Each structure stands twice: as C-alpha cells, then as structure tokens.
C-alpha cells in the first residue's frame, strides 16, 4: 500500500456522465488507488446522473459549480486579461484572417479565459485543502484549458502544483482539428510546463514531437479495455455479418461504409449479408433514410443507436460477428477496435491516425486512408471467402488485445509511472 501520496484528477464530466470518459477512467482509477492514498476527481462540467466511484476516491464539484456561476464583472476581467496574451495576437496576425480564423480567435480567447479560471481556482483549492504539493500529482485527463491553467499557476507561486501531467487523445491533441491557426496559442508554454505528456498512441507522440521537438517528457501509455471473458462466435449459417461502432458523424464516414456494403452485396448477390451499426448521432436519420431506400435485397441493415459498453460486449459475445469495420477519416487510437479485438473479431480499418498500431494484415486488413466503396468491398470479400485465414485472424486479434490493450496491465503500468514522478521528486514512500 502506498501512503501519503495524493492524486488530483481533472476530468471533463466524470463521474457525471456514462460516456467514453467513464469507461476508461473507472478502471484507471482502480489501478491508481494502489499507488496513491488520496485521489480527488474534479469534473469541469456536471451533466446527468452521478455515477459511483471506486472506494477512497472523492469528488470535488466546486470547480464546475463556481465556473457556471461566475459573475459578469469577473468574466469581463478574465476576458480583458486574455486579450493581453501576446501569443493570441501573433497567431491571429500571422495571415489574412477569414471567417474561420475569426471564429478560431474567439475560441482561443475563451480557452485563455478558461485557463485563467483554472489557475485561480487551483490556487484557492490548494490553500483551502492545505495540499502538500511536493507529494501530489495534478493530472488532467485531456490536454485542455485546465492543463494550460495548471501550468500557468506554477509561475511565481511556490504553493502551486509542482508535478502536472496530462493525457492527450485525439481532438485535444491534433491542433488542426481545433483551430484555423497554425497552432493553438500558448501550447508550447503548456508543454514546457508539464512533467509528462502522456500520449495514447505512437502516432500522437510522433505528431507532437515533430511540432514541438525542443520539449521532453512525451511518453506513450495506451488505453485499454477489460477482458470480456469470452469471444465472439463466427457465423455458421452462411450469413456474413459485419459490425461497426461509432458516433454517426461526418468524419466516421458511415455513408461510405454503407456504399461499400452495397458494392459487396452486388458482387456477391447470392450471399446474405447483415450489417449492424452501433452508435447514434447527428446523421442517424439521414443514414437510416438511405438504408431504407438503397439497401439491396441481400443486405440487411440495423442501426442500433447508442448503447452502453457492457451491452456492446454482450452483443459481440452472444451473437455471431464475422468482421468489425472502421472507415474513419481521422482517429486517435480507436477504442471500438480494442473492444472488437478483445472479443477475437477480425478488423478492417483505414490507415489513419494511430489505427496502424492496432490493425495489420495479421488481425484483418488495413485499408488506404481514403478508400473507395470498391476497395472496402474487396477487403470484406477476402474475410468472407477465406475462412482459414479468418480463423487465424480471430486468434491473432484476441492475442493483440492481450499483449497491447489489456486495461488491467496498461493502467497498472501507468499508475507506476505517475507514482515514480513523486518518488523521483525526493519523497519516500512505503509498500506493504
């Protein structure tokens, strides 16, 4: 048992949302409990029903509540301070602004305001709780304005956080997704002030290393999913069953996938094909309309909508699945693929982001980053018509999860990494 070490974790909504953040943070916190005697979770937003948290983990809601109730005068002061941030203007004036640049400037100002609020709040929190910052790790689950604020708080304040660590996933890491500027203003300073930046993929580490090569402390610590305890059965009745799982939004390219399935059905008209898509979103009705109008007679489609992760795994292990497919235009390291592989399902996916780190021809097929419907259909035909190779891919898929994406192993390794930062800071800890 580790004693006298504290971990302060800043989340987006956990434990007030049952989304993806909760799926990963709950098992991660279980591992962290073995290394830290005190863990405090601080959500930025309070949305929906509060979930249970592991024993010895406390939840601090004042950050979200006080942020929501900020008075007009204080907001104005934060905005005025944000507009003195030199990096904002350097980025804004770097090229002739268009409408998107103006919107990005507004977004950057709001980010700076949020960072200033986080800085001021954490100073008060440390003083009120009398936190020993020399024995504490401040950890942001996202590379967010809170991260910026924690780094800001370190300037000229001895009672500020000494050890600040952040994870970075996808939308919070890849700056071109967030801004029309070349970079997010102030990011270099934030990275310089972190003890570690923890990337979930090698692709993410390479990306940030190229953009900010002078910084250090970039490490890869992958997410993971738990052992489902069983594997998905393959179809034995002559039906070819395809599953996908994602939000229904443009970058997931579910319409492109549907078009690939249409080609597949037309090229193999005597084969019954079933496609199940798990996940809801803004394009649900549009895709449902296309499915109703355009599905060939031998293609059966079901849009399941949003279900919780336990139900996703139950479906995989209870009903036949022959292949999982992901044709996104951009990804970090897809958790949906980790789940499929934990159940021994072959995977077909596009060569984007960190996907090549989890998908190879050993476990399925890696598509070009921008495949045509015909290319998608061709990969699915290979899975359909080579049962011997498909069986090998099922075994390899499960093995790949076990070796690289097992939640229990990955999160305990991460917990040891965080603990080592405090121990390396001159603290003595005891084990039992």
pLDDT per residue rounded down to tens, the chain (432 residues): 345 899 999 999 999 976 778 888 989 999 999 999 999 999 999 988 899 998 889 999 999 999 887 777 777 787 777 777 777 777 666 654 554 566 777 788 888 889 999 999 999 999 999 999 999 999 999 999 999 999 999 987 878 999 999 999 988 999 887 766 667 888 999 999 999 999 999 999 999 999 999 766 899 999 999 999 999 999 999 999 999 999 999 999 999 999 999 999 999 999 999 999 999 999 999 999 999 999 999 999 999 999 888 899 999 999 999 999 999 998 888 999 999 999 999 999 999 999 999 999 999 999 999 999 999 999 999 999 999 999 999 999 999 999 999 999 999 999 999 999 987 664 544 333
d(CA 341, CA 386): 19
Instruction: Determine contact, residues 314/336, Cβ cutoff 8 Å.
Output: no
Whether residues 173 and 193 fall in one domain = yes
**For helices 254-267 and 373-385, angle between their N-to-C axes, nearest 10 degrees:** 60
Whether 81 is covered by a domain: the verdict is: yes
Whether 430 is covered by a domain: the verdict is: no
Whether residues 413 and 368 fall in one domain = no
Q: Which residues are 166's β-sheet partners?
A: 140, 197
Residue 107: give the domain boundaries. 6-224+408-423
d(CA 54, CA 168): 23
Give the predicted TM-score (pTM) of the model: 0.87
Give buried/exposed letters for 54-79 (b at 16+ CB in 10 A, else e). beebebbeebbeeeeeeeeeeeeebe
Whether 231 is covered by a domain: the verdict is: no
Whether residues 177 and 69 fall in one domain = yes
- The three-state secondary structure class of 139 is strand
- Cα-to-chain-centroid distance, residue 325: 18
Nearest to 165 by CA among 114, 217, 116, 127: 217
Q: Are strands 57-59 and 38-43 parallel, antiparallel or unpaired?
A: parallel
Whether residues 169 and 46 fall in one domain = yes
Q: How many domains does the structure of the chain reveal? A: 2
**Percent composition of the chain: helix, strand, coil (DSSP 3-state, to 5):** 45, 15, 40
Count how many Cα atoms sit within 13 Å of the Cα of residue 373 in the half-sphere of its side chain: 14
**For helices 20-32 and 335-342, angle between their N-to-C axes, nearest 10 degrees:** 70
Whether residues 209 and 73 fall in one domain = yes
Whether 390 is covered by a domain: the verdict is: yes
Whether 51 is covered by a domain: the verdict is: yes
Whether residues 169 and 51 fall in one domain = yes
Whether residues 88 and 206 fall in one domain = yes
Instruction: Determine contact, residues 317/228, Cβ cutoff 8 Å.
Output: yes
Count how many Cα atoms sit within 13 Å of the Cα of residue 145 in the half-sphere of its side chain: 21
Whether 73 is covered by a domain: the verdict is: yes
Whether residues 220 and 246 fall in one domain = no
Sequence-ordered alpha helix ranges (H) in 268-334: 284-294, 309-318
- The three-state secondary structure class of 9 is strand
Whether residues 273 and 256 fall in one domain = yes
**CA distances in angstroms from 126 to 78, 148, 190, listed in the order given:** 21, 17, 20
Whether residues 347 and 370 fall in one domain = yes
Whether residues 301 and 368 fall in one domain = yes
Whether residues 107 and 153 fall in one domain = yes
The CATH number assigned to the domain holding 333 equals: 3.40.50.2000
Whether 374 is covered by a domain: the verdict is: yes
């Amino acid at each position: 048992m580790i004693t006298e070490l504290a971990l302060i974790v800043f989340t987006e909504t956990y434990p007030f949302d049952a989304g993806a953040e909760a799926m990963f943070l709950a098992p991660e916190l279980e591992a962290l409990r073995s290394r830290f005697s005190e863990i405090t979770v601080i959500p930025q937003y309070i949305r929906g029903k509060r979930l249970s948290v592991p024993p010895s983990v406390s939840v601090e809601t004042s950050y979200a509540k006080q942020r929501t109730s900020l008075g007009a005068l204080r907001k104005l002061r934060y905005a005025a301070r944000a507009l003195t941030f030199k990096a904002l203007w350097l980025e804004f004036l770097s090229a002739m602004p268009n409408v998107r640049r103006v919107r990005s400037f507004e977004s950057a100002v709001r980010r700076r305001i949020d960072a200033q609020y986080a800085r001021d709040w954490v100073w008060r929190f440390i003083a009120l709780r009398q936190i020993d910052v020399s024995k504490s790790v401040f950890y942001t689950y996202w590379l967010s304005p809170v991260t910026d604020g924690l780094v800001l708080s370190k300037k000229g304040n001895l009672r500020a956080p000494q050890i600040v660590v952040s994870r970075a996933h996808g939308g919070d890491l890849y700056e071109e997704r967030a801004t029309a500027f070349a970079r997010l203003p102030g990011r270099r300073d934030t990275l310089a002030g972190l003890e570690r930046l923890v990337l979930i993929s090698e692709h993410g580490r390479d990306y940030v290393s190229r953009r900010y090569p002078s910084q250090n402390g970039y490490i890869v610590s992958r997410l993971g999913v738990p052992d489902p305890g069983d594997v998905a059965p393959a179809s034995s009745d002559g039906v070819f069953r395809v599953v996908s799982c994602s939000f229904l939004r443009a970058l997931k390219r579910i319409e492109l996938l549907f078009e690939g399935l249409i080609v597949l059905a037309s090229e193999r008209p005597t084969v019954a094909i079933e496609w199940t898509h798990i996940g809801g979103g803004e394009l649900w009705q549009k895709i449902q309309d296309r499915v109703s109008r355009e599905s060939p007679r031998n293609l059966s489609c079901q849009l399941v909508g949003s279900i919780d992760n336990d139900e996703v795994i139950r479906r995989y292990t209870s009903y036949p699945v022959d292949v999982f497919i992901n044709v996104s235009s951009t990804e970090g390291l897809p958790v949906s693929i980790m789940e499929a592989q934990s159940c021994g399902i072959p995977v077909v996916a596009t060569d984007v982001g960190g996907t090549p780190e989890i998908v190879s021809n050993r476990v399925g097929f890696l598509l070009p980053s921008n495949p045509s419907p015909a290319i998608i259909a061709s990969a699915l035909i290979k899975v359909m018509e080579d049962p011997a190779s498909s069986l090998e891919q099922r075994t390899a898929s499960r093995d790949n999860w076990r070796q690289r994406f097992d939640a229990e192993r990955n999160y305990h390794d991460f917990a040891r990494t965080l603990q080592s930062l405090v121990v390396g800071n001159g603290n003595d800890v005891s084990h039992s």
